[in-house]
Amino acid sequence: MNSTKFSTSSKRAASISSPNGVRASDTSDELRLAGVDFDGDKLIARFANGGTIAVDVRRYPRLERATPAQRKKWRLIGKGSGIHWESLDEDLSVENSLFASAKKAA
């Protein structure tokens, strides 16, 4: 079952790759994170351009075991290129974690 969804700001489906061929290390608005939410077993990353990517939280054992309160205590790192949970000692980057997980699930 495909548990990953990526959408652009125009809300149409897109492939699980860096939009417009831009690498996350470029940290353009296309790939700059704006926030993160959880919906059941999905981690939903929100991008500055309005796009989202949803990945199965079971790919990240610390986040899977975390309480809802712990999951809410995150901060953006690297000018929006990643997310950090201090109390969980967990870091996810756009390029190496989120897009990699999305590709594995596709």
- Whether pLDDT at 86 is above 80: yes
Angle at the Cα of 99 from the Cα atoms of 26 and 40, rounded to 5 degrees: 130
Q: What CATH architecture does domain 5-105 belong to?
A: 2-Layer Sandwich (3.30)
Query: What pLDDT digit, counting tens, does each position of 37-46 carry?
Result: 999 999 999 9
Asked whether the predicted pLDDT for residue 98 surpasses 80, the reply is no
97 pLDDT band, cuts 50/70/90, is: confident
Taking residues 10-18, what's their average pLDDT? 34
pLDDT digit string (tens) for 60-81?
999 999 999 999 999 999 999 9
Rounded CA-CA distance 20/87 in Å is: 35
Query: Mind giving me the DSSP string for 58-74?
Result: GGSHHHHHS-HHHHH--
Q: What is the mean pLDDT of the chain?
A: 76
Percent residues over pLDDT 90 in the chain = 55
